[in-house]
Structure 1
């Protein structure tokens, strides 16, 4: 149809794909910086659904002129006067038009009875009360075929739903017939919409209604100057003088004759209609560029915010993992209860001064200790279990608290915490899971001892102390470093690790002991990782549910590029 649309079918397909990508795009976080973008996305979808796609899919459909304007401008009276009968309700109670009325020639009815335009509104006919969410269809032979008029609610209605609907209807128009009055033509609200029309290249005509004859020569030129300043200098202006309505509530025929003649000529001239459609459709397509770029920018902002939230989570839980690893080597696990139980088991510091006197004496002393204290290895092992569990649990809890603290300082983080208040503290089953992880690790240590003690000679040595006793020694050697301990504690802990290591070396050899300790340490870190990753995942899942897909912006940009190429 137009010089800018050599292949309408290709353009329609490209716009449909673009519409799918806009609909698929999400802005899940309620960020201050993206609130406007969410409104823009909704408006963009409405424009695609209400105008661009219907017009592209039915390029030869009648031209749709939407009559919009401020409260009390006389829109409905104007429509009725053009048609010379009461079609749209007029009156002094505001708002008068609460739902739109679409007037068309009888031969054009098939273009509007389906959902081609305004798909969200149900169709009704007749003269009953207009229901919310409907558009009333009215036939009129006074209106030429090829042109339809849509009487919209007030753009500044006291009812917010009416204001929103009015703007939606204007976005569905090929042509705006903008009605204002001599008293209100400079109001801010209509000019905001007129600037949008100018920015988007929408075809506009102005009806300057209710102008006292004595000020006509002053008001009309001033309005024309204002239109020119806003890039609407080519918009025709139709002044209608202040007058008395006839007995049917209509304007005198002479006052609307020029406007009716212009509309009739437009309806009867296919080339003129094409010019209007081309102007508005081309402008609407061009407006996709900036509006989709705003959506892309908002998507990238959301991606950046969720990346920041994810970084906070990963830093906190990486620190948590390092805390567990450091706690395994800084001697803290050999403090307190473990030291007390160990002393009960092997005696006081006097014993450790005899460590160097020979392995045979160690063996005798330890063997005796094992025989004399049947529960001693279990007591030390349990104390060690508690210490390891507390180490894991404390670091996991610290990470959760750190994430919650940092998230609360960010709008997006606070939003997620509000939706998931359980994230502010460790998961309810953290303790049992940690307990199970440590016990599993202790079982793995015992399995490691059994595996290394399979030959006859080694097996005999292991039997002298028992699997549990040797396993306990290996656990102690796993935490052999004494950094963080001072004074007597360091001496006792050091003696503990030396004693355990000497016994193990006597049984397995020094290289085997080093290998076993490394395996035991790696096994415990794996169990700690499982606990920490489960806690980390709680936060990452909450972020992930609000994360914009990595390729959302690319898909949207590619779809827009295809539209631009087809225009």
Structure 2
């Protein structure tokens, strides 16, 4: 695990690199670097006692159902065909996290008893392919701020071009802060689940993300949830 002092040093080094690059590289690249420094510094200033994990993905993959399954409560409205999550909501295990949630601009919060997930903030995000532009903007905003992004897919959408081309490939340098969650495994036979995982691994390797963890779960039956909790 990276320690706060090491993070401070990395942020300072990136800030120095951005300053040195000013006037030498394209302004857009320099400003992107400075924006990363600003966000990282703000996040570090809020402490590392709490981990923010976000459930992200396209419509109909079961993010909200998975959110409910992980929390053990019916906190999110579940919808298969149309977007039902218009703004991010949080489940918080244990005390604290209020300042962090204020920084994330998450208004809807559910406080849960501390347990094996003590110190975790789990976010249920709007669909990144929503027909509502505001939903897409909100999902992308929070993805940039989360400590860990769980990309949730299902048997038909795991190869979605938007997911791989717009999100996964550009984030290949953040391999340590992502995981792929293959949901709705109960719809497949054991043999098909194995083939599904193998093809997902192939796609991730093409994306430059060979090393990210993969969790195979069913939010409906609960299969695979203990393994997913260990990732959190």
* Range into which the TM-score falls when normalised by the shorter chain: 0.7 to 0.9
Give SS of 1:254's match. coil
Go from structure 1 to structure 2 and tell me whether the alpha carbon gap of 1:224 and 1:166 turns closer, same or farther (over 3 Å shift): same
Larger fraction in helix: 1
Which residue of 65, 75, 95 maps to 1:77?
A: 65
Q: Work out the CA distance in 2 between the residues paired with 1:166 and 1:3.
A: 28
Shift of 1:14: 7.8
How many pairs are equivalent? 224
Counterpart of 2:222 in structure 1 is 253
**Contact 1:68/1:75 (8 A) holds in 2:** yes
1:262 equivalenced with 2:205 (yes/no): no
Which residue of 171, 175, 178 maps to 2:144?
A: 171
Shift of 1:206: 0.8
Give SS of 2:97's match. helix
1:157 equivalenced with 2:130 (yes/no): yes
Shift of 1:158: 0.8
1:187 equivalenced with 2:156 (yes/no): no
Q: Work out the CA distance in 2 between the residues paired with 1:261 and 1:14.
A: 32
**Contact 1:64/1:173 (8 A) holds in 2:** yes
Shift of 1:47: 4.5
Counterpart of 2:93 in structure 1 is 105
Q: Work out the CA distance in 1 between the residues paired with 2:207 and 2:96.
A: 35
Q: Which has the larger radius of gyration?
A: 1
Go from structure 1 to structure 2 and tell me whether the alpha carbon gap of 1:7 and 1:205 turns closer, same or farther (over 3 Å shift): closer
Larger fraction in strand: 2
Give SS of 1:164's match. helix
Q: Work out the CA distance in 2 between the residues paired with 1:184 and 1:10.
A: 36
Shift of 1:181: 0.9
Shift of 1:78: 0.3
Shift of 1:179: 0.2
1:308-344 Cα shifts (integer Å, max 9, x gaps): xxxxxxxxxxxxxxxxxxxxxxxxxxxxxxxxxxxxx
Counterpart of 1:238 in structure 2 is 215
TM-score, normalised to structure 2, is: 0.80
Go from structure 1 to structure 2 and tell me whether the alpha carbon gap of 1:46 and 1:15 turns closer, same or farther (over 3 Å shift): closer
Counterpart of 1:229 in structure 2 is 206
TM-score, normalised to structure 1, is: 0.35
Runs of 4+ in 1 over 4 A off after TM superposition: 3-7, 9-16, 43-49
1:8 equivalenced with 2:8 (yes/no): yes
Shift of 1:253: 3.1
Q: Work out the CA distance in 1 between the residues paired with 2:89 and 2:228.
A: 19
Tell me the C-alpha RMSD between the 2 structures: 3.5
Q: Work out the CA distance in 1 between the residues paired with 2:55 and 2:119.
A: 16
Go from structure 1 to structure 2 and tell me whether the alpha carbon gap of 1:7 and 1:168 turns closer, same or farther (over 3 Å shift): closer
Q: Work out the CA distance in 2 between the residues paired with 1:179 and 1:7.
A: 28
**Contact 1:97/1:152 (8 A) holds in 2:** yes
Segments of 5+ residues of structure 2 without an aligned counterpart are none
Counterpart of 1:213 in structure 2 is 188
Q: Work out the CA distance in 1 between the residues paired with 2:43 and 2:130.
A: 28
Give SS of 2:60's match. coil
Shift of 1:13: 10
Give SS of 1:222's match. helix
Q: Work out the CA distance in 2 between the residues paired with 1:232 and 1:55.
A: 24
Segments of 5+ residues of structure 1 without an aligned counterpart are 26-32, 125-135, 242-249, 264-567
